[in-house]
Amino acid sequence: MLSLILMSPSPSGGAAGDGGSQLLSTVVMFGSVILIFYFMMIRPQQKRAKEHKSLLAAVKKGDRVVTTSGIHGTVSEVEETSILIQIADNTRVKFDKASIASVDAK
């Protein structure tokens, strides 16, 4: 498909070199848009995900945590994929590790 675009005559009837420079400028423009999206959206999101993953790996018994649903509590048990959080006296709730939003170390 790209070869058909490159070989087609320019619609304005100008020289064939004009079409090549237009194609080059279009490719450069799309490339710059892709780079802007990468550095403004994708890269920061990957960085936040990496930080969240390391935060979850460092959670230990006794840490004060806040879940993504806004529940505050103290970690009473840590398992591989879940955490048991004490939110009141004699009240413990089991959460998935991914639902931890922030951790305040003891």
Q: Is residue 82 part of a domain?
A: yes
The band of 9, judged by pLDDT with boundaries at 50, 70 and 90, is: low
Structural domain that includes position 50:
16-57
Check pLDDT > 70 for residue 87: yes
**What is the CATH classification number for the domain harbouring 92?**
2.30.30.100
Report, in angstroms and rounded to the nearest whole number, the Rg of the chain calculated over CA atoms: 27
Q: Is residue 9 part of a domain?
A: no
pLDDT given at position 4: 47
Mean pLDDT for all residues in the chain: 86
Q: Is residue 51 domain-shared with residue 73, that is, in the same domain?
A: no
Gap between the Cα atoms of 12 and 21, Å rounded: 14
pTM of the model: 0.63
Length of the chain: 106
Check pLDDT > 80 for residue 37: yes
